[in-house]
Amino acid sequence: MLRIKLNTGVSTLFVLLLFMGCLVPMGSAQAVCQPGQMSEANLAYQSAAQFLSAQQWDQAISRLNSIVKVCPEHVDATRGLGTAFAGKADYAQAIGWFNKVVALRGDEVQAGDFANLGKSYAKLKKYKEARAEYMKAQNLEPDDCGVLFNLGVMHYASKYNTQSVEVLQHALEVCPQYRDNILKQLSVSATAAAKQQTQNGNNEKAAYYTNLMNQYGGQAGGATTYDMVKKKMASKKYNEAVVLLNQMLAKNPNQPGAALTWARAYDGAGDKAGSIGAYEKYFQLKPNDVKTYGTYVQVLVEAGQCSNAAAKAAAGSKGFASQGRSALAGVHYSWGLALECQEDFAGAKVQFQKAASSGNSKYSGPAKTQVARMDDFMKMNDAQRKKAAQNK
């Protein structure tokens, strides 16, 4: 049995944690101040941003404090204060400013806002608080590599070891550039999960995580079956990817990342029935993945199961409502496709409008185009009805 020696101390993980951290870029949307105040604040912020870029923290803090006195709702200046205090290792102050950013942005809060908080809490070794912030970040950006890795580390540091394994498995799928680091942490987290399950008397689950520990520990630095799957997917050899994934999931069925790729591989191969079945097995493992749920509904539409797709979309819209309008954009978009398929153009327009107004940049533009299409279809139907009436 091949084993690798890993340092399991949490503190040693933070060099990588900080390197992979997610920051919100400057220049984002600002809260409303009086026009004169905002002009003055924006002008002052230009020099403050230079101090931040040069890591001249004290000068930045002085300038940024003067900005927030003029315009307390200036988001970039508020975030800059959090960044500057974090740069000075005054994480308690940084947390206060980053929390204010979250409050100011309200519904427009971004994953990076929560990630800044998570990083600061982690530096204070408040791992449970950091974990909570990274969970919020992942809810907004499910595939962000920095968020996923750091959340996996924080799950582990907070002794949520099985959740750490699950998140890191997803990170391994979507973040190949961090493969070696993820594999090392996966082995550590799986080891801790196996020990935890043994202590709880769950011998079957303990054996499962022991197997993962050996699998990921042995793979660190080497090629994996999943690497071969990714190559098959990249070269559009979807049927070959399906064969490999069948082998992987036969050995370890509880792999959400592999199950999701399995669904995508079936879809790429044109096997809609296989894809639908794989998606449904994936949701048994990851029931809260609203982003993928929208894709699943679209596959149902493409398979000609329009009525079923509309019903699933309606259920998803209700079940995932707590995740917010932006997260639900894909569900509403696919719901629109399902209703269009049933020639319910008015109903489809309502769903596309919801996607268009969601604030989700991926769906807003295409949904607006679909709204216009639905208008065209309804006009055409009206014209056909009027013509038919005239011919009677």
Is the confidence at residue 181, as pLDDT, over 90?
no
The residue whose two tokens read 């912030």 is 133
CATH of the domain at 339: 1.25.40
- Predicted structure pTM score: 0.56
Q: What percent of the chain has pLDDT over 90?
A: 66
Whether residue 267 is found in the same domain as residue 298: no
pLDDT score at 212 = 84
The model's pLDDT over 200-234, given as tens digits with 9 standing for 90+, comes to: 999 999 999 888 887 776 565 444 677 788 889 99
Whether residue 251 is found in the same domain as residue 330: no
Whether residue 252 is found in the same domain as residue 332: no
On whether the CB atoms of residues 147 and 181 are closer than 8 A, the answer is no
What region does 236 belong to: left with phi over 0, alpha with psi -120 to 50, or beta?
Answer: left
User: Taking residues 186-194, what's their average pLDDT?
Assistant: 91
- Tally of domains in the chain: 2
Whether residue 262 is found in the same domain as residue 293: no
Is the confidence at residue 116, as pLDDT, over 60?
yes
The model's pLDDT over 54-82, given as tens digits with 9 standing for 90+, comes to: 999 999 999 999 999 888 999 999 999 99
Whether residue 263 is found in the same domain as residue 329: no
Q: Give buried/exposed letters for 163-175 (b at 16+ CB in 10 A, else e).
A: bbbbbbbbbbbeb
Confidence of residue 331 (pLDDT cuts 50, 70, 90): very high
Is the confidence at residue 28, as pLDDT, over 80?
no
Whether residue 312 is found in the same domain as residue 386: yes
pLDDT score at 32 = 58
pLDDT score at 256 = 86
pLDDT score at 372 = 96
Residue 240: give the domain boundaries.
225-271
Residue 43 lies inside a defined structural domain of this protein: no
Q: What percent of the chain has pLDDT over 70?
A: 90
Whether residue 295 is found in the same domain as residue 251: no
Q: Which of 116-120, 164-168, 229-233, 297-301 has the lowest mean pLDDT?
A: 229-233
Higher pLDDT, 44 or 31: 44
Residue 44 lies inside a defined structural domain of this protein: no
Q: Return all residues near 218 (Cβ < 8 A) that are at least 6 apart.
A: 2, 3, 4
Confidence of residue 31 (pLDDT cuts 50, 70, 90): very low
Nearest to 206 by CA among 190, 219, 218, 222: 190
Whether residue 339 is found in the same domain as residue 369: yes
Residue 342 lies inside a defined structural domain of this protein: yes
Q: Which of 16-25, 160-169, 224-233, 364-373 has the lowest mean pLDDT?
A: 16-25
> Would you give the DSSP letter of residue 89?
T
Whether residue 263 is found in the same domain as residue 337: no
User: Taking residues 19-34, what's their average pLDDT?
Assistant: 46
Is the confidence at residue 124, as pLDDT, over 90?
yes
Q: Which of 16-20, 232-236, 281-285 has the lowest mean pLDDT?
A: 16-20
Residue 310 lies inside a defined structural domain of this protein: yes
Residue 303 lies inside a defined structural domain of this protein: yes
Average pLDDT, the chain: 87
The model's pLDDT over 338-364, given as tens digits with 9 standing for 90+, comes to: 999 999 999 999 999 999 999 998 999
- Count of C-beta atoms within a 10 Å radius of residue 43: 10
Domain end marker among 271, 301, 332: 271
Domain end marker among 271, 305, 329: 271
Whether residue 378 is found in the same domain as residue 335: yes
pLDDT score at 63 = 93
The model's pLDDT over 83-108, given as tens digits with 9 standing for 90+, comes to: 999 999 999 999 999 999 999 999 89
User: Taking residues 135-147, what's their average pLDDT?
Assistant: 94
CA distance 272 to 342: 19
User: Taking residues 38-59, what's their average pLDDT?
Assistant: 90
Residue 33 lies inside a defined structural domain of this protein: no
Whether residue 238 is found in the same domain as residue 313: no
Is the confidence at residue 20, as pLDDT, over 80?
no
List the structure tokens of 136. 């919020």
On whether the CB atoms of residues 327 and 334 are closer than 8 A, the answer is no
User: Taking residues 22-45, what's their average pLDDT?
Assistant: 64
> Would you give the DSSP letter of residue 27?
S
Nearest to 319 by CA among 297, 341, 340, 301: 297
Q: Mutual orientation of helices 325-341 and 345-356 as an angle, nearest 10°? A: 160
Residue 332 lies inside a defined structural domain of this protein: yes
pLDDT score at 70 = 85
Domain end marker among 240, 271, 302: 271
Residue 372 lies inside a defined structural domain of this protein: yes
Whether residue 293 is found in the same domain as residue 262: no
Is the confidence at residue 11, as pLDDT, over 70?
no
